[in-house]
């Protein structure tokens, strides 16, 4: 339609009503808004391309020059999609790739995931902490140049962003539930690595968790053949965890051995009181775990 015809539109005209219905079906947009003909409908009547709501939302994030460059490109390359379709394909590809990576990571054992998380978060904590200290400390207030202060602020802001990325990505990985032989509840990661590697070399699967709460939650999912339990943990005492296990009808038959740096006289006095089957003192010799192998061999026969 011409400019003059559009200016003189009669909304009671059946032909125009039909155009309005077609426009709204094609674009999911209104031809009339608050009693006035929309600019989109006018452009459509002129024969201009009007994007649907979904496509328009996508196009808002892209500069006109980029869209025009892509349009020029596909005009001479028929096999390529429209810009909106290209973005949707990219988003779908990203979702598929993220899902595949997440699925691959879920096949890692929980200790490995915990170690990855720890390796990423520990240095980040220092970077974030010292950045905040420099920004808030009275000692440095007014002594930093604007450039340095802005740089530190940016480091702190980016640290927060990275922290959230790590948390959302790693902390939400759900490890596959696999049978294992030993549940190790120990808050020291190097000790977890040492013990899990030792048992894995002996062809036994050892799952390490860094808190009592996580240990008790894990028992609801999988029952191990034996539990190695530190006494001093960040959240719940190993004594209390042992007592909880030994007073539960489902878990009470699981052998529990304290693994602790507490003095032997203290442990010897308390381990039977809380129902533990024995104890291993830190620092330990690997031969101290012979009793654990005996239990595992008995359960295997």
pLDDT digits (tens, 9 = 90+) for 143-199: 878 888 888 888 888 888 878 777 776 656 555 545 789 999 999 999 999 999 999
How much is the average pLDDT of 84-97?
60
pLDDT of 83 reads 53
- Residue 20 belongs to some domain of the structure: yes
| 263 Cβ contact list (under 8 Å, min separation 6) | none
φ and ψ at residue 46, rounded to 5 degrees: -80, -10
- 209-228 residue pLDDT tens: 999 999 999 888 888 999 99
Q: Where among 150, 170, 190 does a domain terminate?
A: 170
User: Could you write out the DSSP letters of every residue in 171-202?
Assistant: TT--------SEEEE-S-HHHHHHHHHHHHHT
Same domain, residue pair 149 and 190: no
> Per-residue confidence at 116, pLDDT binned at 50, 70, 90?
confident
Same domain, residue pair 73 and 148: no
Residue 266 in this model has a pLDDT that exceeds 60: yes
- Residue 63 belongs to some domain of the structure: yes
pLDDT of 37 reads 84
Report the domain count for the chain.
Answer: 3
Query: Mean of the per-residue pLDDT values for the chain?
Result: 79
Comparing 187 with 97, the larger pLDDT belongs to: 187
- Residue 23 belongs to some domain of the structure: yes
Same domain, residue pair 223 and 283: yes
Comparing 85 with 291, the larger pLDDT belongs to: 291
Q: pTM here?
A: 0.44
| Cα angle value 259/263/264 (rounded, 5°) | 75
Q: What percent of the chain has pLDDT over 90?
A: 33
Same domain, residue pair 192 and 292: yes
Q: Where among 170, 191, 207 does a domain terminate?
A: 170
The DSSP bridge partners found for residue 260 are 281
| Other C-beta atoms lying within 10 Å of the C-beta of residue 6 | 15
- Residue 175 belongs to some domain of the structure: no
Same domain, residue pair 70 and 155: no
Name the one residue in this structure whose structure tokens are 């012979």.
Answer: 290
pLDDT of 77 reads 67
Residue 279 in this model has a pLDDT that exceeds 70: yes
Residue 108 in this model has a pLDDT that exceeds 70: no
Q: Where among 69, 85, 101 does a domain terminate?
A: 85
Instruction: Please give the residue range of the domain that contains residue 46.
Output: 3-85
> Per-residue confidence at 56, pLDDT binned at 50, 70, 90?
very low
Tokens of 141: 């207030």
Same domain, residue pair 160 and 187: no
- Distance separating alpha carbons of residues 59 and 79, to the nearest angstrom: 21
- Distance separating alpha carbons of residues 264 and 283, to the nearest angstrom: 12
- Residue 95 belongs to some domain of the structure: no
- Residue 103 belongs to some domain of the structure: no
pLDDT of 61 reads 47
Of 234, 287, 291, 233, which Cα lies nearest the Cα of 261? 233
| 19 Cβ contact list (under 8 Å, min separation 6) | 31, 45
> Per-residue confidence at 53, pLDDT binned at 50, 70, 90?
very low
- Residue 96 belongs to some domain of the structure: no
Residue 101 in this model has a pLDDT that exceeds 70: no
Tokens of 110: 């929980």
- Distance separating alpha carbons of residues 267 and 261, to the nearest angstrom: 9
| 107 Cβ contact list (under 8 Å, min separation 6) | 175, 176
Same domain, residue pair 77 and 118: no
CATH number at 241 reads 3.40.50.2300
């Amino acid at each position: 339609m011409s400019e003059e015809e559009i200016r003189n539109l009669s909304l009671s005209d059946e032909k125009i009503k039909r155009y309005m219905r077609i426009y709204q079906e094609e674009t999911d947009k209104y031809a009339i808004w608050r009693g006035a003909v929309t600019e989109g409908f006018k452009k459509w009547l002129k024969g201009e391309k009007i994007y649907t709501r979904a496509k328009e939302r996508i196009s808002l994030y892209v500069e006109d020059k980029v869209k025009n460059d892509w349009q020029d490109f596909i005009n001479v390359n028929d096999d390529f999609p429209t810009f909106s379709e290209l973005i949707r394909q990219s988003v779908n590809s990203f979702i598929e790739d993220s899902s595949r990576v997440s699925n691959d990571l879920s096949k890692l054992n929980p200790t490995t995931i915990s170690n990855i998380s720890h390796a990423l978060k520990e240095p980040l904590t220092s970077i974030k902490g010292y950045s905040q200290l420099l920004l808030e400390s009275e000692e440095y207030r007014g002594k930093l140049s604007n450039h340095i202060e802005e740089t530190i602020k940016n480091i702190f802001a980016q640290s927060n962003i990275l922290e959230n990325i790590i948390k959302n990505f790693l902390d939400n990985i759900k490890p596959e539930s696999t049978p294992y032989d030993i549940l190790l509840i120990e808050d020291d990661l190097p000790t977890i690595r040492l013990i899990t590697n030792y048992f894995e070399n002996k062809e036994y699967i050892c799952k390490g968790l860094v808190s009592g709460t996580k240990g008790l939650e894990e028992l609801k999912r999988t029952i191990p053949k034996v539990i190695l339990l530190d006494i001093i943990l960040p959240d719940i005492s190993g004594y209390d965890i042992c007592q909880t296990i030994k007073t539960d009808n489902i878990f009470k038959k699981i052998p529990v051995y304290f693994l602790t740096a507490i003095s032997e006289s203290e442990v010897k006095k308390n381990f039977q009181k809380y129902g533990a089957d024995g104890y291993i003192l830190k620092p330990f010799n690997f031969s101290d775990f012979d009793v654990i192998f005996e239990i595992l061999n008995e359960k295997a026969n």
